[in-house]
């Protein structure tokens, strides 16, 4: 049986649920378990997370992953439950809610996919902000009275299912920021973007001179004041370094966006292999590779060279740290 340990707000209301470790069913490859009250009901969590980053090709990769017959997609790609929804309303903060509302259809396919008594199909969560968005970190038990978190979403996922795998697409942070702004900010304004870049970069650089970079990264006030441009999303090193302190490196697959765009077939094979999926026949694989790219960005206006240089200078030291952390110079983006 699953017992519940609750976190509480000062007014006594329940806001988050931490479950005791779950006894997952041994004949399921995907993490699935019997419902604690209804033993005939099966619940399933993600086997993997397509955990980052926005405007780095995650929608396209998500759709291609779930064209593999060894997978079953959840109800929606991006549910934001791990990083946001579970903190917002008491009625949706349990794993049972997460499993039934976002993975019920996948669970049905997983249950049906039995061969020699073993259920081999897997499912995944495609929320691309899982690894970096942290608006509610102060509500995680253990972070009380902290200026920066002791615990992040990674610890919760490890508590729930230590075997989780993570796929992370990474794009030159300057290009990612530009794509993000001109995709999501309407009406778009080139002048507004360039002014915001100067203002927000200065705000963060001032903070870095006074506090730790990690403290500035997790400062919710700064995040809200720079909401027009998600500058801190591109500080990949800080977020990834935190997650690699929780999960071993072999449970991550980091993919440079430029490699995914130029060598799609090769990278897709790496993804399938990482997830333990069977190789596909060449003709099937080619059809998946040849499908139309999803959520492809549009042409961007020409930015002032000064704005580009401000962004590249800001991100450069973090890219160097990331390349060192991952032992991979492809993440330098020089």
pLDDT digits (tens, 9 = 90+) for 99-145: 999 999 999 999 999 999 999 999 999 999 999 999 999 999 889 89
pLDDT of 13 reads: 34
| Alpha helices by DSSP H, 10-134 | 58-65, 86-88, 95-102, 104-112
Does 209 reside within a domain?
no
Task: Read off the pLDDT band of 188 (50, 70, 90).
Answer: low
For 200-251, how does the pLDDT look when each residue is reduced to its tens digit (9 = 90+)?
A: 999 999 999 999 999 999 999 988 888 778 899 999 999 999 999 999 999 9
Quick check: 52 and 132 in contact, CB under 8 A? yes
Helix (H) or strand (E) holding 17: strand 14-19
pLDDT at 5: 38
Residue 194 lies in a domain: no
Q: Does any domain span residue 227? A: no
Residue 244 lies in a domain: yes
In a domain, 93, yes or no: yes
At 16 the pLDDT is: 47
Number of domains into which the chain is organized: 1
What distance separates the 2 farthest-apart alpha carbons in the chain?
Answer: 63
Determine phi and psi for 246, rounding to 5 degrees.
-105, -45
| Residues 88, 206: Cα–Cα separation, whole Å | 32
The sign one gets for the Cα dihedral 26, 32, 36, 38 is negative
**Contact present, 52 and 125 (Cβ < 8 Å):** no
Question: Domain for residue 75, yes or no?
Answer: yes
CA–CA distance, 75 with 95 (Å, rounded to integer): 15
pLDDT of residue 183: 82
Give the Cα separation of 223 and 70 in Å (integer): 39
Check: CB of residue 121 under 8 Å from CB of residue 30: yes
The answer, yes or no, to whether residue 20 has pLDDT greater than 60, is yes
CATH number at residue 13: 3.40.50
What's the Cα-to-Cα distance from 10 to each of 7, 13, 14, 15, 177, rounded to whole Å?
10, 7, 10, 10, 37
Query: What is d(CA 155, CA 149) in angstroms, rounded to the nearest whole number?
Result: 11
Closest CA to 159 of 103, 90, 95, 87: 95
Helix (H, G, I), strand (E, B) or coil at 4: strand
Measured CA to CA, the distance from residue 57 to residue 172 in angstroms comes to: 12
In a domain, 29, yes or no: yes
Residue 160 belongs to what domain range?
4-172+236-300
pTM above 0.85, yes or no: yes
* Residue 224 belongs to a domain: no
- Percent of the residues in the chain that have a pLDDT greater than 90, as a whole number: 76
């Amino acid at each position: 049986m699953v017992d519940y340990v609750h976190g509480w707000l000062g007014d006594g209301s329940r806001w988050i649920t931490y479950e005791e470790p779950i006894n997952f069913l041994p004949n399921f490859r995907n993490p699935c378990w019997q419902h604690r009250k209804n033993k005939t009901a099966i619940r399933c969590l993600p086997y993997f997370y397509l955990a980052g980053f926005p405007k780095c090709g995650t929608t396209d990769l998500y759709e291609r992953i779930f064209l593999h017959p060894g997978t079953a997609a959840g109800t929606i790609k991006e549910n934001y439950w791990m990083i946001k929804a579970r903190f917002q309303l008491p009625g949706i903060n349990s794993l049972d809610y997460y499993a039934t509302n976002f993975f019920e259809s996948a669970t049905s396919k997983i249950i049906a996919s039995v061969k020699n008594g073993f259920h081999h199909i897997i499912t995944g969560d495609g929320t691309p902000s899982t690894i970096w968005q942290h608006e509610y970190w102060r509500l995680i038990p253990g972070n009380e009275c902290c200026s920066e978190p002791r615990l992040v979403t990674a610890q919760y996922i490890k508590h729930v299912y230590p075997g989780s795998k993570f796929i992370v697409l990474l794009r030159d942070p300057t290009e990612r920021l530009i794509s993000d702004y001109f995709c999501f900010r309407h009406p778009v304004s080139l002048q507004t973007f360039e002014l915001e870049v100067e203002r927000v970069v200065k705000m963060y650089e001032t903070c870095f001179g006074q506090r730790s970079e990690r403290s500035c990264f997790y400062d919710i006030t700064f995040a809200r004041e720079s909401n027009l441009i998600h500058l801190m999303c591109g500080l990949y090193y800080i977020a990834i370094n935190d997650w690699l302190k929780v999960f071993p490196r072999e449970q991550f697959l980091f993919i440079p966006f430029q490699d995914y765009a130029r060598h799609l077939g090769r990278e897709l094979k790496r993804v399938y292999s990482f997830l333990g999926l069977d190789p596909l026949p060449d003709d099937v694989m080619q059809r998946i590779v040849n499908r139309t790219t999803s959520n492809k960005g549009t042409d961007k206006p020409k930015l002032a060279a000064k704005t580009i240089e401000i962004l590249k200078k800001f991100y450069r030291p973090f890219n160097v740290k990331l390349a060192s952390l991952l032992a991979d110079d492809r993440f330098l983006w020089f």
